[in-house]
A and B are shown apart, each in its own frame.
Chain A
Amino acid sequence: MSLAEKQSVAEIKARNKELIAEVLKVYPEKTAKRRAKHLNVHEAGKSDCGVKSNIKSIPGVMTIRGCAYAGSKGVVWGPIKDMIHISHGPVGCGQYSWAARRNYYIGTTGIDTFVTMQFTSDFQEKDIVFGGDKKLAKIMDEIQELFPLNNGITVQSECPIGLIGDDIEAVSKVKSKEYDGKTIVPVRCEGFRGVSQSLGHHIANDAIRDWIFDKQDPNRVAPFESTPYDVAIIGDYNIGGDAWSSRILLEEMGLRVIAQWSGDGSLAELENTPKAKLNVLHCYRSMNYISRHMEEKFGIPWCEYNFFGPSKIAESLRKIASYFDDKIKEGAERVIAKYQPLMDAVIAKYRPRLEGKTVMLYVGGLRPRHVIGAYEDLGMEVVGTGYEFAHNDDYQRTAQHYVKDGTIIYDDVTGYEFEKFVEKIQPDLVGSGIKEKYVFQKMGVPFRQMHSWDYSGPYHGYDGFAIFARDMDMAINSPVWKMTNTPWKKSPSKPTMLAAE
């Protein structure tokens, strides 16, 4: 049972403010000043969370963030399954991100599908000294020879590319021409650009605009007959099958999904998206750019939605339906009604076991806010949340639609801060990434990875919510947490971290 329950909001706010002041003490003055701007206690009614964001991480603090390459190759491009994505540069970046994100897909890997493979130019010293353009050109030839069924190639730049002055755009153009207009996309997502994964998303979005949309024949006809109900799913990476358990709901309500961006997606789907009547956007952070572009250029409206937990799913289905006629609106109601018994059963089973439990989150693009509703459907409360790479518009959405008064907010949290916050607030569950998982489990705090779904999922949609509820129960109510104290030792009464005391 957590402390939060017994305290008033005023007490919680005071405690959280004190806590922030306390963690800042560990830093040298200059750093404390900078970090102070990223930590806050949410005040109800405010239009944002009162934290600065999308600013450079401070050297040496153990930021949890990644880089632009991770945002482009790892998030946006990597899941496009029928294209080959070259990790261009030295071997490491591609090796560590190889098949690590669980972007599910259907296809014959290595023949017509390539998601869980690591294609790298494996730069050597001579490539750094003399440049890698010739090697890149040769790589494209070898890809064509050995993987003839690939539908396109992207070049995902690692740090060195932008530093040694390679012209990957020129290589891509030449090779595209040589291979009859083949789609070859150079992406300038070197890891030093920007401050996090975020700029990588943006650069990747822009590359789709410039190298796929802008290269299309404007009079191109869709390979299918359009219907008034064509939509595209944008910003769902099909982690553990998320996009599938979302797509099925949209189809059941009478819409037709013509593209998935980018989980289980294909080049053809990217190309056909301008035919959509509506883009439905899940991860706003990573794909708002292309959605805005399609709105401006093709007049396609876009609509944010949230498929975590029955409350938000129902709200989202109705919101999406509001862009369409009565047939779809009725369809939405039909879908909501169809799954109601399943949702009732899931909640009846798990809510009594989870009621009143508190959660602290720290994730990436949309989840620090999007999953709050799902926890609330289970009677749980999110008492702290933060983003690795949000911008202010994310914090606005968070403040206006999701978090409660007094929630502690931490942007680009450092390892030290996060551990301290958890140690003092003692939530019943922490949801964050692989780098954080074992830290908190050692402290005896139940944990779920909220990037990879801890190798479970899907968590999206009604089918996913059943898994989500089961997993949260499994984490919190596992008997293992009763065994962390050694019975013959005077046990620490609460989780502690030893390092920096």
Chain B
Amino acid sequence: MPQNADNVLDHFELFRGPEYQQMLANKKRMFENPRDPAEVERIREWAKTPEYQEKNFAREALTVNPAKACQPLGAVFVAVGFESTIPFVHGSQGCVAYYRSHFSRHFKEPTSCVSSSMTEDAAVFGGLNNMIDGLANTYNMYKPKMIAVSTTCMAEVIGDDLNAFIKTAKEKGSVPAEYDVPFAHTPAFVGSHITGYDNAMKGVLEHFWDGKAGTTDKLVREPNEKINFLGGFDGYTVGNIREIKRIFNLMGVEYTILGDNSDVWDTPTDGEFRMYDGGTTLEEAANAIHAKATISMQEYCTEKTLPFIKGHGHEVVAFNHPVGVAGTDKFLMEVSRITGKEIPEELARERGRLVDAIADSSAHIHGKKFAIYGDPDLCYGLAAFLLELGAEPTTVLSTNGGPKWAAKMQELFDSSPFGGNCKAYPNKDLWHMRSLLFTEPVDFLIGNTYGKYLERDTGTPLIRIGFPIFDRHHHHRRPVWGYQGGMNVLITILDKIFDTIDQNTIVPAKTDYSFDIIR
């Protein structure tokens, strides 16, 4: 009997004992009708070949292990960034259970979100009653200052009209007539979670700026000196937004973070559950129309929001998730140009420290090959950083980045002496990536938690940067933006490089001559 009260064995050890191993072998042999092990081995090897890759890339219908989620997830991400706001997703309730779990697994924090719980009868008659009852219940129970509505597939397929439904619900007294209920249609069969971010953010701004769905006058812009900041869908939102605030404060920039979810996803454990915490106030959201400019950190998360804002007279500037020295330089200089504020010496020193760190360590990164996958802007920012480290991001893949993104990546590769062997793969999934890692091996893979399956199958060490990160804790608390953020990314990459060297040199009397104490 392997189990032991003094030293309780967990699943990873328990089942390795002879009793269980014997049992599992018997199960397989006698009852599972297993494949011939030689055949399994043959197919396993075949799946590594260029021939397999060709078939794999010829796929037209099947998606395997995509690196993207659906629109409403992005809408929930936006909604919780506003003061005392509840995301309300109109449609079937199972989706909402999934969004809440997904975020909680990443941030290790609660995520409050309600559903209108549509069922079969709503499929036939429409979900109007669900909207009417749902808004009334949410309003009474959770006393939100705002309810931000988005949709699941179900509501979209049957064609529910949010604008009309919310109007009717208000007429029926679900919530007061002047109560803020911004909305966005977020069909999951269009785009991905970053599209949902875009639609929901635009929905909130449209609500406040353009007359609250025809119930008040449109706001008239009276330009001031502030700038608006949009982070985009970002797994590091907690650390990043705090870092951006610190930078803006150092520069003396007046700003509004639109959708500031850095507090609600990082509340203290002190005996109180804060369903709401922090967030952009509704007043700030409305007044954001007066800003002189709006900055988006992620172009592909704000493809509709930025033109909307521009249409209201702002200057708009979009970045591609800047990481590292040049990206941060450009970001800061743009902020400085727009606001007229100087970049303080303190930030120049931070820059110098990041350059110093790169100089100290670049020998270990220079010439290394990387594969990256993730959201399109994140891929761009990371690839740009690797190029400035002298590394080669040879394989950059995005499920929700399209041909336009790929062209932009190619421009980036072309601009660097290290980009010659690099290629972008738009609209591809992690099964494509698996083939690529076999046929064109790299030294390291950068991606989210699901990359661990690629690490297992191909032996490529995984550096976890992206969303979601389920199997490591607290990464989202560290910024990846700003020079400090660049430092964090650099350290994360270096740690894996050094760990990998140590792993490769750890066999006593065989490889451990290189098991160096100083690196």
Contact = CB atoms under 8 A, between A and B. Distances in A.
Interface of A: 26-28, 30-31, 56-70, 82, 89-93, 95-100, 104, 106, 108-112, 116-125, 127-128, 135-136, 138-139, 142-143, 145-146, 148-149, 151, 158-160, 162-164, 191-195, 197, 223-224, 240-241, 244-245, 247-248, 251, 257-260, 264, 266-269, 272, 338-339, 342, 345-346, 348-349, 414-416, 419, 433-444, 456-458, 462-463, 466-467, 470, 480, 484-486, 491-492, 494-500
A427 to B, nearest CB: 15
A59 B63 contact: no
Interface string B4-16: 1110111100110
Name the 8 nearest CB pairs between A and B, nearest first.
A67-B94, A92-B70, A499-B275, A59-B134, A60-B134, A96-B98, A268-B33, A345-B5
Given A435-B97, A442-B110, A484 B271 contact: yes
Given A90-B70, A117-B65, 16 more contacts: A59-B133, A62-B113, A69-B94, A90-B188, A92-B73, A110-B47, A117-B453, A149-B39, A159-B92, A192-B154, A197-B94, A241-B11, A247-B23, A463-B3, A463-B14, A499-B275
Given A28-B136, A128-B189, A434-B104, A163 B40 contact: no
B141 interface: yes
Interface in B96-139: 97-102, 104-105, 108-120, 122-123, 130-131, 133-138
B85 to A, nearest CB: 12
B478 interface: no
A473 B139 CA distance: 39
B269 A444 contact: yes
Interface in B13-54: 14-15, 19-20, 23-24, 27-28, 30-35, 39-40, 43-44, 47, 52
B23 A139 contact: no
A485 B271 contact: yes
B273 A443 contact: yes
A92 B69 CA distance: 5
A90 B98 CA distance: 14
A118 B66 CA distance: 7
Nearest to A127: B189
B273 A499 contact: yes
A109 B47 CA distance: 12
B62 A92 contact: no
A117 B136 contact: no
Given A63-B115, A491-B271, A492-B271, A111 B453 contact: no
A492 B43 contact: no
Given A95-B69, A146-B55, A116 B453 contact: yes
A91 B66 contact: yes
Contacts of B28: 106
Given A28-B140, A65-B97, A442-B269, A160 B44 contact: no
Nearest to B29: A224
B97 A26 contact: no
A139 B61 contact: yes
A70 B94 contact: yes
A31 B35 CA distance: 55
A30 B113 CA distance: 22
Given A60-B136, A122-B66, A125-B187, A498 B274 contact: yes
Given A60-B116, A159-B157, A245-B14, A121 B62 contact: yes
A445 B281 CA distance: 30
Contact of A100 (B23, B88, B105): B105
B517 interface: no
Contacts of B118: 59, 192
18 contacts: A66-B98, A91-B192, A106-B28, A118-B66, A119-B64, A124-B190, A125-B190, A128-B189, A142-B59, A162-B123, A163-B158, A224-B31, A434-B105, A442-B110, A443-B272, A444-B270, A485-B270, A499-B275
Interface of B: 1-6, 8-11, 14-15, 19-20, 23-24, 27-28, 30-35, 39-40, 43-44, 47, 52, 55-56, 59-66, 68-73, 88, 91-95, 97-102, 104-105, 108-120, 122-123, 130-131, 133-138, 140-143, 152-154, 157-158, 187-190, 192, 267-276, 431, 434, 450, 453, 457
A481 to B, nearest CB: 9
B139 to A, nearest CB: 8
Given A139-B61, A143-B62, A60 B154 contact: no
B274 A60 contact: no
Contacts of B431: 146
Nearest to B33: A268
A195 B141 CA distance: 22
Contacts of B39: 149
A109 B455 CA distance: 13
A490 B8 CA distance: 40
Contacts of B88: 60
Contacts of B100: 435
B273 A419 contact: yes
A242 to B, nearest CB: 10
Given A95-B68, A345-B6, A108 B40 contact: yes
Contact of A149 (B35, B112, B153, B154): B35
A268 B142 contact: no
A191 B95 contact: yes
A244 B271 contact: no
A249 to B, nearest CB: 11
Contacts of A89: 153, 189
A411 to B, nearest CB: 15
B272 A497 contact: yes
A499 B117 CA distance: 22
B166 to A, nearest CB: 13
A116 B109 CA distance: 24
A346 B97 contact: no
B11 to A, nearest CB: 5
Contact of A139 (B14, B55, B62): B62
Contacts of A26: 140-141
A323 to B, nearest CB: 20
A92 B95 contact: yes
A433 B102 CA distance: 12
B507 to A, nearest CB: 26
B104 A98 contact: no
A106 B457 contact: no
Contact of B20 (A248, A466, A492): A248
A442 B267 contact: yes
A317 B152 CA distance: 46
B159 to A, nearest CB: 10
B101 A146 contact: no
Given A70-B97, A96-B101, A62 B63 contact: no
Nearest to A443: B273
Contact of A96 (B99, B119, B138): B99
Given A67-B95, A497-B275, A164 B157 contact: yes
Given A28-B140, A146-B59, A456 B64 contact: no
Contacts of B138: 60-62
A61 B139 CA distance: 9
Most buried by B among A272, A349, A435: A435
Contact of A498 (B56, B137, B273, B434): B273
Contact of A462 (B3, B116, B122): B3
A117 B59 CA distance: 17
B97 to A, nearest CB: 4
Given A146-B55, A496-B273, A159 B153 contact: yes
A117 B429 CA distance: 12
Nearest to B144: A499
Nearest to A245: B14
B4 A435 contact: no
Given A125-B187, A164-B157, A497-B275, A66 B62 contact: no
Contacts of A162: 123
Nearest to B430: A118
A244 B24 contact: yes
Contacts of B52: 146
Contacts of A151: 33
